[in-house]
Structures are given as C-alpha cells and as structure tokens.
C-alpha cells in the first residue's frame, strides 16, 4: 500500500487544466460570436448611403436597391 501511486501523478498536479481549458474555450467562443458583427454597423452604412444620395452621387433606384440590401 505504501508504494502504490496509481492515484497520484500528473492528474493530481495538472488535473485542473482540463476544466480551465474548457471554460476558456467557452469564453473565447462567446467573445468571437459577439465580435463577428460590430454594433451599429448597419446604421453607419445606411447613414453613408443617405449621404451619397443627398449629394447626388447615386440615383433613387440605386438608393432604394442598396437600402433594401442593407436592411
């Protein structure tokens, strides 16, 4: 019984790494999912489109088509 070390070893010292890695992967996945689309990105694009239409760079048909694409 004294020399039996079947319950000790790498598992005792580094056994906490697996749950920590799983938690880290979950956190990374959540952050990556939320950063994939910038907040307000569509609003900015629509604002630029409105400015181009107001300056006369694009006609009404083009404006309406691009506005539908952005929505």
Q: Could you read off the pLDDT of 10-46 as tens digits, one per residue?
A: 556 677 788 899 999 999 999 888 776 555 666 888 8
What integer is the mean pLDDT of 37-59? 83
Q: Residue 2: its pLDDT value, please?
A: 54
For 35-58, what is the mean pLDDT?
Answer: 82
Check whether 60 has a pLDDT greater than 90: yes
In the prediction, which pLDDT does 53 show? 94
- Cβ pair 70, 44 in contact under 8 A: no
Return the pLDDT at 32: 83
- As a whole number of angstroms, the distance between CA 66 and CA 71 comes to 9
Q: Tell the burial category of 67 from Cβ atoms under 10 Å away from its Cβ (0-12, 13-18, 19+).
A: middle
- The residue among 38, 51, 46, 52 whose CA lies nearest residue 68 is 46
């Amino acid at each position: 019984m004294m020399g039996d070390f079947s319950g000790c070893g790498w598992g005792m010292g580094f056994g906490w790494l697996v749950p920590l890695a799983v938690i880290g992967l979950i956190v990374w996945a959540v952050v990556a999912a939320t950063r994939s689309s910038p907040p307000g990105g569509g609003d900015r694009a629509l604002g630029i489109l409105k400015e181009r239409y107001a300056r006369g760079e694009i006609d009404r048909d083009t404006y309406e088509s691009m506005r539908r694409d952005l929505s």
